[in-house]
Structure 1
């Protein structure tokens, strides 16, 4: 039962996050793939200019390009993530470890992230491609989520749905770092308020409030983001739609690394970091506030039954 409560709380948290922050996700994705070499995207000076330009050229609809696959992907991803993460922690706890170490939190998060990655990569690929559709786009645009899947399968085959899977797997470390930092900081705060009494992970929730979860979520997200952001750039560039000739702009992860270093330097791996910070730091706070409070609500409901 506990794992399904985790999944429900995670899914609702993921939906709330996407609904609030999607325009910044569109801006981030467009910055990530812009390499200045014949791109089919408009040129943006900064985050504010990007939002203004997209609104002027494409309307509000442009700021919500790829919204449906984003909602689907985020809701499913967070639901599965918290489910697998809860299962992994429970398995380690059942083996006799009541208070899990940082290493076991890391292993639990990495395990959950890898499983979610294989389940959701096709949805994220479609989201990326729909976000990159603009008036300058040369190919016939996808009309929706179903049309995108159908067109990709027809034109590129099933394997195309797993483009970017290598950097996606590397990005598992993002969730692992985030959750490890989150869990450890939560224990530090809880222990500082327990008047010298050491508390376990479950009891620590009773000592924290929504403000604490906002700070914990934002702080853990920044730490993870700074270390793993280049993998997001590599993935986004790999997931671009091929041109009319059917040849991808980048062939594999190594090709992205080589070309980015050659033409843009290390700075190229941090394109879009500003909208990413603006999107994900508050988004992480929202996610964990919703997650922890839904978890408390479900726990109370279960206790009353």
Structure 2
């Protein structure tokens, strides 16, 4: 193996490590809002085992009163696994794709190639993580009104799903997950990369210097870039989250799913709830993900810079 190949592989693993640490930090800080978002998403106003929440604050208060801290952190274990794995794999695949396109285009990456890199990474991550997200969703929807025998935890949920529904159940919602991963990640990372270039250019002009991006940008810049790119991605891709959450609900005691497939969700939601139904839970989603994106990119960029310093010392 050549020295350049060794450096490339080391760089890829540094990206994966930075992404995994960033993912864990994000989940730990924002999980209660994720629980609230999921419960809003699946409550279609018809038949539901979930309490009716007026708004995000009322949902948090009601869950805390009826279920305690355990309710606010339902599904935390699979969320940590899924988010850490997702971010680690995402940054790894994203960086590999960028480097491949970078070499083939003689050192230049257009917005379209950033988009293609992000889409490729999102699709690959989706296949690895869908079972984890399905278990997370089901654990988050358990509550005192739940009529089915509750899952005792992550491993019990996996065993029960496999026993009662088979392997295919672990990939319920895979179609909207693919659309979500590809579109959301592609939009977010393309926006992030392009906004990053603009900010670097503006700061470089202001300072009249040719400093590197690491020297120009600080944590406040990374936070602002992460939040801005996340908002654009959420507004476009959020309906896929609603479709996925509704598909991933636990079947009735008779083993009948609430929704048969993605198209069934779309038709029923449009018929009974209109466009608003596809954006249920977007408020806690924004409250969770906008600051979470800031945390993620601040941690990611700083961990990556730290790893670079360590590598240079070696």
Equivalents in 2 of 1:47, 1:295: separation in Å?
A: 35
Please name the residue that 2:202 is paired with.
192
Aligned twin of 1:67? 76
**In structure 2, what is the equivalent of residue 111 of structure 1?**
120
Contact 1:217 1:288 in 2 (8 A): yes
**CA–CA distance in structure 2, aligned partners of residues 117 and 71 of structure 1:** 16
- Report SS of the residue matched to 1:195: helix
Q: Which sections of structure 2, spanning at least 5 residues, go unmatched?
A: 1-9
Q: CA deviation at 1:178?
A: 0.2
Q: CA deviation at 1:192?
A: 1.1
Query: Post-superposition shift, 1:11?
Result: 0.1
For residue 250 of structure 1, what is the aligned residue in structure 2? 259
Distance 1:276 1:63 in 2: 15
Aligned equivalent of 1:164:
173
Write the distance in 2 (CA, Å) between the matches of 1:244 and 1:140: 9
Query: What displacement does 1:36 show?
Result: 1.0
The answer to whether 1:11 aligns with 2:13 is no
Q: 1:199 to 1:85 in 2, by over 3 A?
A: farther
**Alignment equivalent of 1:261, drawn from 267, 270, 284:** 270
2:148 is equivalent to residue 153 of structure 1: no
Counterpart of 1:2 in structure 2 is 11
What runs of 5+ residues in structure 1 fail to find an aligned partner?
Answer: none
- CA distance in 2 between counterparts of 1:205 and 1:142 reads 46
Note the 1:1-305 alignment, pairs <5 A.
1-171=10-180, 172-195=182-205, 203-305=212-314
| Distance in structure 2 (CA, Å) of the matches to 1:141 and 1:111 | 36
**Number of residues paired by the alignment?**
303
Structure 2 counterpart SS, 1:139: coil
**TM-score, with structure 2 as normaliser:** 0.95
Question: Offset at 1:198?
Answer: 9.8
Q: Provide the C-alpha distance between the structure 2 equivalents of 1:33 and 1:108, rounded to a whole number of angstroms.
A: 31
Query: After the TM superposition, which of the residue ranges 66-75 and 205-214 deviates more from structure 2?
Result: 205-214
TM-score, length-normalised on structure 1?
0.97
Q: Distance in 1 between matches of 2:187 and 2:268?
A: 28
Determine if contact 1:85/1:109 at 8 Å carries over to the other structure. Answer: yes
Q: For each residue in 1:248-280, what CA deviation from the matched residue of structure 2 results, as whole angstroms up to 9, or x when unmatched?
A: 000000000000011100000000000000000
CA distance in 2, matches of 1:133, 1:285: 30
Tell me by how many angstroms 1:155 deviates. 0.2
CA distance in 2, matches of 1:27, 1:255: 24
